[in-house]
Amino acid sequence: MLAFGPGRGELVLVRVPPDAWMVVDGCSAATTDYAAAVLSHYDARPRIVILTHPHDDHSGGLVSVIEAATPHDRKETWPRIGMLVPPESDVGRSAGFIGCVTAEAIAAIESRWSESPACRWDMNIGDLEPLGGAMLRVLSPRADVRAEALRRWQMGQRFNANVISTALLLTWRGRRLLLGSDLVERPASGWSHALVVDPQLGDDDLLKVPHHGSDEALLDDILRPGARVPDPLRLFTPYSPKRLPSFAAGKGAHRVVSHGGTSYLTGLPRRHAMQSGRAEARTLTALRAHDTITFDPTTTGFPDCYVLVSVPPDGGPPTVQQGPGSLHVVPDAGGAAPRTAWDHCDSDEI
């Protein structure tokens, strides 16, 4: 699993052995569409492409992925393309209501749905979708929350798009990867209801922390490690416009880290050009003053601001490789130097 977050934007890619790829959301930086660049690097074609919710910071580069994955003379090879179906209201789709990047991604998805209905996935709660030897499950949004948000969207009334974010659970050989998207607990109790859908949530091997670690997205029952996985991985992608995640005591990243597990950030909540040119490790205490942290060198661009997690098929512990710009949150007493490798992608590991 690869998680990218260059300061604004979030992209998750998953490869299930031997070659079943999934793209969840997208990000761009310095004119590079990260998802398309990764797929080109690995010479891969996605089996599933998902837009989890209508926000520009999750839509960047998705059009490039969709265009490359949908050759018009080979529709039988097209991936399943999923999103929550938006209303057809001209007001709700106006440039002033949703971002231009999101509008372009929605248009590209709907065009493919129209051309090949077999690729359409409306992503209703509880849906199951195979990805190679793994299974993907839709955990949100709740039907009534979805209906109310779509009603407001149809009318051109403001609504919180995070409440209709699609959280996903990927299971493979007894391992569980929880991809939190931007689903929030407040408002609408998104994670409390996800626990009703799957009461084992929290006992997961990996959590892509929801909504960039905002306090509104966090539910302690999801963060508290379970008996099966006492030391889970937690991955954060930052959102610089709102300075997420917070590192203040009891908030955001501090709250997640306090529950245990091992935490990584794909970058700091700052613009892309100011991210580190190396993989980093910092204590939570140091990160509370992250505005004062300077890097030399700074990033030279893609591939950067990523964390790669490889889950072995034999039940052993996952291995983690950090890309330039990423940070391992280490105990205040210190910690091991970060491990890096862009080309690491073992054929038998997820």
Q: Which amino acid is at 267?
A: G
Lowest-pLDDT range, 35-49, 77-91, 142-156, 260-274? Answer: 77-91
> pLDDT per residue over 31-60, tens digit each?
999 999 999 999 999 999 999 999 999 999
Instruction: Determine the average pLDDT of the residues in 306-319.
Output: 94
Q: What is the mean pLDDT of residues 144-167?
A: 93
Query: For the CA atoms of 237, 194, 125, 131, what is the dihedral angle to 10 degrees?
Result: 60
Q: Enumerate residues 6+ apart whose C-beta is below 8 A from 269.
A: 7, 212, 238, 239, 240, 242, 243, 244, 245, 290
Q: How confident is the model at residue 336 (pLDDT cuts 50, 70, 90)?
A: very low
User: Among 208, 210, 328, which residue's Cα sits nearest to residue 265?
Assistant: 328
The whole-number pLDDT of residue 95 equals: 54
Note whether 237 and 263 are within 8 A (CB). no
Evaluate if residue 90 carries a pLDDT over 80.
no
Q: Which amino acid is at 88?
A: E
Give the 3-state secondary structure of residue 258. Answer: helix
Tokens of 143: 């039907």
Asked whether the predicted pLDDT for residue 223 surpasses 80, the reply is: yes
Amino acid 321: pLDDT? 98
Q: How large is the average pLDDT for residues 187-208?
A: 97
Q: Write the CB contacts of 38 (distance below 8 Å, at least 6 apart in sequence).
A: 2, 4, 13, 44, 303
Is the per-residue pLDDT at 65 higher than 80?
yes
pLDDT at 230 over 60: yes
CA distance linking residue 120 with residue 114, whole number of Å: 9
Least confident of 23-32, 80-89, 119-128, 341-350: 341-350
pLDDT of residue 115: 97
Considering the domain 2-330 in this protein, what is its CATH number? Answer: 3.60.15
Return the residue matching tokens 């084992």.
200
Per-residue pLDDT at 335 = 46
Spatial contact of 202 and 221, defined as CB atoms under 8 Å apart: yes
C-beta separation of 170 from 135 below 8 A: yes
